[in-house]
Structure 1
Amino acid sequence: MPSDDRTGPLSGIRVVELAGLAPGPFGCMLLADLGADVVLVDRPGGTGLDGPLQRNRRVVTLDLKSPDGVAEMLSLAARADVLVEGHRPGVAERLGLGPDVCQNLNPRLVYARMTGWGQSGPLAAAAGHDIDYLAVAGALEPLGRPGQRPHAPVNLLADFAGGGMLLAVGVLAALLERERSGRGQVVDAAMVDGSALLTTFLHGMIAGGAWSGGRGGNLLDGGAPFYDTYETADGRYVAVGALEPRFYAALLRGLEVVPATEQQDRDGWPELRRLFAARFRTRTRDEWEQVFTGADACVSPVLSPTEAPRHPHNVARGTFVDVGGVVQPGPGPRFSRTPVKEPAVREATTVTEVLAGWK
């Protein structure tokens, strides 16, 4: 997508992204979706990645282990608003591309660093993945059923919510501050920090005595029978989130049951769960969806990633889009005055072509 063909609230913002995995590309995808001109600097031979996370990019290939490649990279950094790198601490400096060098050329540059453990601390140089950052942040231990081991939720929390999303927020905040100071700064986005941030509400519940600890025995972790998932007659599942009394009453009406216990009577929860489980097994998932449509009972079908694009609500909102034959989530959020365009597949370019457009 040519740099002058971009719309959205970040139109005119220039981003240079050093090729990486998962969180960095996701953060840059968010910036690109919102209109930023993101130029992905890939290595010779490429990373082997070319999919939804790389959409809306122009791609240049540079050998950053060669003086010529570093010089071309610095020429991009000198004209960019943002540079994003996801190496372990010290790697960019050894390549001659650290923040001191880049910001000496361009004092307005926002230099964003995406790592697992951050730029400081005893684990800064250690290897890790999503599950490790969740573990140390205290976000993994609560996930799972009573008496069972903690269960990792794919790599959604640390890599994307606590990583790429945090990176994008940091970049946007630094760009906003630059409007006042005229100066860029370094953004240290660490997945362990982001994973910890995601547990803020949980810490509030602990402080307020609303979280007893342990897995699967609390209000929001599947411990409550009215906030859980249930198998249906066809082997699929529904999600139930009937926390408030009026939603709970609607749930009971839809299920056509009259429990012998009150909603908040924890001693009665095991029997209530058995009652709900037996009732949900009498109909298919889609039949229960019809029963609860319009009922305000907070009951929803559990859809697979391939089913979700076909759900009527997602279709009506255009939540998913087709980009180059690949169905994937579309950009968000929505903007009234500066709407974004539908995503496009990445395209190859050269540093010369990029700089010609970055006057």
Structure 2
Amino acid sequence: MTGPLAGIRVLDFSTLLPGPMATLFLAEAGAEVIKIERPGKGEEMRGYEPKWGDDSVNFALLNRGKTSLALDLKDTVQRDKLLPLLKQADVIVEQFRPGVMARLGLSYEEIRAINPGVIYCSITGYGQTGPRAARAGHDLNYISDMGLLALSLGSAETPVVPPALIADIAGGTYPAVFNILLALRNRDKTGKGTYLDIAMCDGLFPFVYWALGEGVATGRWPGNGDSLVSGGSCRYRLYPASDGSFVAAAPLEQKFWEIFVEAIGLAPEVRDDRRDPEATTQAVARIIAQQSGDHWSKVFEAADCCCSVVRDLRHALQDPHFRARGLFDAEVENESGERITALPVPVANAFRVNTGVARAPRLGNKNDLVANDNSDDREAPR
């Protein structure tokens, strides 16, 4: 299977997470992705821990199905070798701070002059313009600056750091991918390329739509853990069980709430959570705390009331539901022939090309492209 993006060549100058995950999605749909890496050690993530073979397991998961070109972009002679590829590229993805690609002679304006149809995607934390454009940051800074983190911080004694890199993936990867696809569609219609300024902070605001709506419409801005979906309701919160596990209770709708309170045996006088929400919350918590997670798992499996027991990632990989859907069927192989489960990607099976075993590239495994100036060699990545 070739995939809907077969024939699309992507030059990926990005490192770490947002850009590499975006180009992984494109590669899964058939695009040829060539990573541009520094000679010697390659991109930073190759050296991360834990190692899996020569490189890190993170690198293997994010870069399967791609190829690698090792060039010193600060060296004019080496950089000039890119010219044939730049003329042929359909998509360029970069993740440097604003101005870096221009200093390297690789700005959108310079590449558009030789390749008018190029789609050039820049991913940064704060965007290419504005007072924070040149500021350094990481995921925690981005979700802090745009208001998401303040909605569920935990307490002063136990502040909570979200386990997901929300800004990198939700604010960087996903907007980059769908805007690249929109740009490709627009090029099909107009023949023109596009410059895409993807700011991770900007891409996060849809995730706080409810808080934004409440604040601008009523003037009452949600605070730390005090709202319906951030822990402020007995109908949407985590309750500790007797064995240290947690019940994730989300019976928001009245029909599910009625099933839930009946299933746990909540006293009739506290079932109406509008009268005394705190009393209802405490009563639910006391009941949940009397039994183990396994007990409640069976109860909620039978009740079907939007409640579950929190499971760890190891259990999720063995979950019969996810297994039945084929999420973990694909594998990544390293240079020693060892295999692990590949990172599931949100590309529909009808469009995916790497459904079996794939490898991340060895550093510089496509340097023959520039050594021979063979810019028309559009061989599928191995």
Q: TM-score by structure 2 length?
A: 0.85
- Amino acid paired to 1:350: K
The residue number in structure 2 matching 1:345 is 359
**Does the CA contact (< 8 Å) of 1:232 and 1:238 recur in 2?**
yes
| 2:30 paired with 1:22 | no
- Alignment CA distance shift 1:264-1:125 (3 Å): same
The residue number in structure 1 matching 2:256 is 247
SS of structure 2 residue aligned to 1:78: helix
CA distance in 2, matches of 1:143, 1:118: 25
- Amino acid paired to 1:278: R
**Does the CA contact (< 8 Å) of 2:65 and 2:354 recur in 1?**
no
CA distance in 2, matches of 1:277, 1:9: 51
**Does the CA contact (< 8 Å) of 2:19 and 2:173 recur in 1?**
yes
CA distance in 2, matches of 1:294, 1:57: 45
The residue number in structure 1 matching 2:243 is 234
Q: Deviations over 1:265-295 (max 9, x none)?
A: 1x52222222222222233223322221153
How far residue 14 of structure 1 moved from its aligned partner, in angstroms, is 1.4
How far residue 335 of structure 1 moved from its aligned partner, in angstroms, is 4.5
**Does the CA contact (< 8 Å) of 2:32 and 2:378 recur in 1?**
no
- Alignment CA distance shift 1:222-1:309 (3 Å): same
- Which of the numbers 312, 323, 346 marks the counterpart of 1:304? 312
| 2:23 paired with 1:7 | no
- Amino acid paired to 1:277: A
- Which of the numbers 302, 313, 331 marks the counterpart of 2:345? 331
For 1:22-101, list aligned pairs within 5 A: 22-44=17-39, 45-49=41-45, 50-101=59-110
SS of structure 2 residue aligned to 1:60: strand
For 1:161-240, list aligned pairs within 5 A: 161-209=170-218, 213-240=222-249
- Amino acid paired to 1:7: T
| 2:298 paired with 1:290 | yes
- Alignment CA distance shift 1:116-1:326 (3 Å): same
How far residue 211 of structure 1 moved from its aligned partner, in angstroms, is 6.0
- Alignment CA distance shift 1:150-1:99 (3 Å): farther
SS of structure 2 residue aligned to 1:292: helix
The alignment's C-alpha RMSD in Å is: 2.3
**Does the CA contact (< 8 Å) of 1:238 and 1:301 recur in 2?**
yes
Q: Deviations over 1:180-231 (max 9, x none)?
A: 1101111000011112232233212334549652111111101101101122
- Amino acid paired to 1:46: G
- Amino acid paired to 1:288: W
How far residue 59 of structure 1 moved from its aligned partner, in angstroms, is 1.3
SS of structure 2 residue aligned to 1:163: helix
- Amino acid paired to 1:250: I
Q: Deviations over 1:15-35 (max 9, x none)?
A: 110131221112112222222
**Does the CA contact (< 8 Å) of 2:151 and 2:223 recur in 1?**
yes
- Amino acid paired to 2:368: T
Q: TM-score by structure 1 length?
A: 0.90
- Amino acid paired to 1:23: P
How far residue 150 of structure 1 moved from its aligned partner, in angstroms, is 6.2
CA distance in 2, matches of 1:249, 1:21: 47
**Does the CA contact (< 8 Å) of 1:19 and 1:43 recur in 2?**
no
Q: Sequence identity, in percent?
A: 32
**Count of paired positions:** 352
**Does the CA contact (< 8 Å) of 1:34 and 1:331 recur in 2?**
no
How far residue 255 of structure 1 moved from its aligned partner, in angstroms, is 1.1
CA distance in 2, matches of 1:138, 1:33: 33
Unaligned 5+ runs, structure 2: 46-58, 334-338
Q: Deviations over 1:25-74 (max 9, x none)?
A: 12112222222211111111212422312222111211111123212223
- Alignment CA distance shift 1:121-1:150 (3 Å): farther
**Does the CA contact (< 8 Å) of 1:42 and 1:60 recur in 2?**
yes
SS of structure 2 residue aligned to 1:194: helix
Structure number with higher relative contact order (C-alpha < 8 Å, ≥ 6 residues apart): 2
Q: Which moved more, 1:285-294 or 1:142-151?
A: 142-151
Unaligned 5+ runs, structure 1: 1-5
